[in-house]
Chains A and B, each alone.
Chain A
Amino acid sequence: MSKFLLLAFRNVFRNRRRTLMTLFMVGGGVAGLLLVGGFFAYMYNGIREGSINNGLGHLQIFTSEHFTRDEVRVLDTGIDNWREVAARVKTGAHVRGIAPRIEFYGMVSNGVKTSVYMGSAVDPEAEKSLGFVTKITSGHDLDSKPSGEVEALIGSGLAKSMNVQVGDGLTVLAMTSDGALNGVDVEITGIVNSGMKEYDDRYLRITLPSAQRLLQSDRITNLVVGLDATKNTDSVYEALAPELRGQPQKLVLKKWIDLATSYNQIHSLFNTIYLFIGVIVFFMVLMSSVNTLLMSMMERTREIGTMLAMGTPRLWIIALFMTEALLLGALGAAVGLVAGNLLASVIDFVGVQLPPPPGSTEAMKFYVFHVPALMFASSLLVILSMVLASILPAIRASRLQIAEALSHV
């Protein structure tokens, strides 16, 4: 067996120039996959952590009826004993903090014009403690204990539509749990620009007590749980979910990934693009390797004939060619891993800037993550491609007519 492998290994380096070209091609494919995949991984990470730190949190707690609720009377399905739940969850491992929220809807009026809003009521201190950032372009964030007027942050689009600015007043209207229309006057303390137009056109944020006063309820819609690291999401979820199911009010726990719609869409889109690139690399390696291995087979026709004449089983010839392809693929993958990781390190060190993506004003950094799973998958891909490419030459070699092969020039 060792001699057989030795023969395959030495055959790989028989025509060094051709082997180098093949290694360059296979390695290039692996390096390309690592660079693109590493950049995508960086991008996913940025979007994921951005979503989590912009207020999504790692986990969120809702009542089980929340997702089938009537969106007019939002707190009908809210959490009753949320303070106890929050206190209990906060003691868990990896939990950094908890922020209660009310998501509500209604109308906002400046006395002349009325518009629809999507409201979010928060505890500013809890939000800050979790590091959730609100992009305020003018004014300041909500005060957790306001002395006078009810404070509000509104989206830049809504502010423009209502023709208001920081310091102006608005009336916020919403339906209470008993079906009555209630309203509170608010003073705008800040204008928010998230970068997403649809969001900024409807955005309104007030404090939790203000919303509870508006909605005439002590309930909240959800509790946002922040963890010390995203990687702990699953373990905390596994620990918390059974505990929450045991509460008097049936509560459900959602992971950030279940709630991050845009992240999932982007992830799915770029995964498809990556898969497409992978398929291209696979076929590129396959097609060019078939040609290379066929050439190698043709050059060794007389030698194969000799081996067959000496009684070498035809399966050995197939195995020899496939082993050579496997070795070539593995060596190419190793070259690609080294080259890809080196290039990634250089790119990360130099700090290449990309133009701002659509809908953003900030330049994007071209940073490449070193992802072991990608290294494994891309290596496997090219090795598989090489082995597949060797099937045709291997079968042809094994089927050579010995007498003809021995007289081959």
Chain B
Amino acid sequence: MSKGLGSQSRKTEENSMDEIVNVEAVSRRFSLDTAPTRHSARTFVSALTSANMSVSAGEFLAISGPSGSGKTTLLNLIGCIDRPTSGRILVDGVDTSQLKPNGMSKLRRERIGFVFQTFNLIPVFTAAENVEYPLLVQGVAAGERRARVAEALESVGLSDRAGHRPDLLSGGERQRVAVARAIVHRPALVLADEPTANLDTHNATQLIDLMHGLNRRLGLTFIFSTHDARLLEHTERIIRLTDGEVVSDSSAQGGSHE
């Protein structure tokens, strides 16, 4: 559990000790008006409507749905990089709606790892430095940083590419570096937004196997958005979204998605 996040935001429910994420009636609306006037009513679009879901520790969960269905919005909300319009989200026992911006930042820093569709590596850093970055932000000592970076790179099979900058790595390698960066600080939860969307089949399959292996070996919780059938085949649980609404949850249906 992260330290210093504030007792007021601590999880109070006792019956969900192994729940890593709990989404309760969460909605998210966005204003379409860039500069609304005093006399005109604001126009809103609803990206997510009254979503409910819970994720247990160690799950390998896919959020699926067509473009614009609200997958990224839901991931952003779970990842504390956006706030819901209504409802609340508990992450690792912390009610994120009670957190101030610094608390959200601390929660992301210590408990969540991110993998992005476009890798989002820092181009002027080497693979090892990119992986080291979350530890640097956490203030981990240099010696420990080195050991954990080596371990993370080894776990994604890129020890020999540690000194290469992102522009010298293939797309698959970049995404593996991004995965190493997401797990290096031992988060409670890894969020991946369309992680295979920019990869060819070979690299996508490798990445899926890698993430699945980390999930099994380290017990890491993975939540990712995807409409990649290759990835969905490896997933134990799929939550389907359509037009901002959760339309199905395979776990609720007895895991019969396959």
Contact = CB atoms under 8 A, between A and B. Distances in A.
A310 B134 contact: yes
A316 B137 contact: yes
Interface string B181-220: 1000000000000000000000000000000000000000
Interface string B117-137: 010101111000100111011
B108 interface: yes
A309 B81 contact: yes
B109 A7 contact: no
The residue in A4, A309, A313, A316 that gathers the most chain B C-beta atoms within 10 A of its C-beta is: A309
B104 to A, nearest CB: 9
Given A7-B125, A302-B120, A316-B137, A310 B76 contact: no
B96 to A, nearest CB: 13
Nearest to A306: B120
Contacts of B116: 306, 406
A406 B108 CA distance: 15
B82 interface: yes
Given A309-B81, A406-B116, A7 B124 contact: yes
A7 B122 CA distance: 9
Contacts of A4: 136
Contacts of B120: 302-303, 305-306, 406
A408 to B, nearest CB: 11
A314 B109 CA distance: 12
Interface string A59-98: 0000000000000000000000000000000000000000
A87 B134 CA distance: 79
Contact of A312 (B81, B118, B129, B137): B137
Contacts of B76: 402-403
Interface in A294-346: 302-303, 305-314, 316
Interface string A1-44: 00110110011001000000000000000000000000000000
**Interface of chain A, helix or strand or loop or mixed?**
helix
A311 B137 contact: yes
Contacts, number: 67
A402 to B, nearest CB: 4
A10 B132 contact: no
Interface in A376-409: 402-403, 406-407
B137 to A, nearest CB: 5
B110 interface: yes
Contact of A403 (B82, B102, B133, B134): B82
A152 to B, nearest CB: 80
Contacts of A6: 129
A118 to B, nearest CB: 72
A310 B108 contact: yes
A125 B129 CA distance: 79
Interface in B118-166: 118, 120, 122-125, 129, 132-134, 136-138
Contacts of A307: 122, 133
Contacts of B105: 308, 311-314
Given A3-B136, A403-B82, A406-B81, A310 B109 contact: yes
A216 to B, nearest CB: 87
A407 B81 CA distance: 12
Nearest to B101: A314
Contact of A311 (B82, B132, B134): B134
Nearest to A8: B124
Contacts of A303: 120, 122-123
B98 to A, nearest CB: 18
A309 B79 contact: yes
A3 B138 CA distance: 13
A309 to B, nearest CB: 5
Contacts of B112: 311
B114 A309 contact: yes
A316 B105 CA distance: 12
Ranked 10 nearest A-B pairs via Cβ: A311-B109, A10-B124, A402-B81, A306-B120, A311-B108, A403-B82, A403-B76, A311-B105, A312-B137, A309-B81
7 contacts: A3-B132, A3-B136, A6-B129, A302-B120, A309-B79, A311-B137, A407-B72
Interface of A: 3-4, 6-7, 10-11, 14, 302-303, 305-314, 316, 402-403, 406-407
Interface of B: 72, 76, 79, 81-82, 101-102, 105-110, 112, 114, 116, 118, 120, 122-125, 129, 132-134, 136-138, 181
Given A306-B120, A310-B109, 7 more contacts: A4-B136, A302-B118, A308-B105, A309-B81, A310-B133, A310-B134, A402-B76
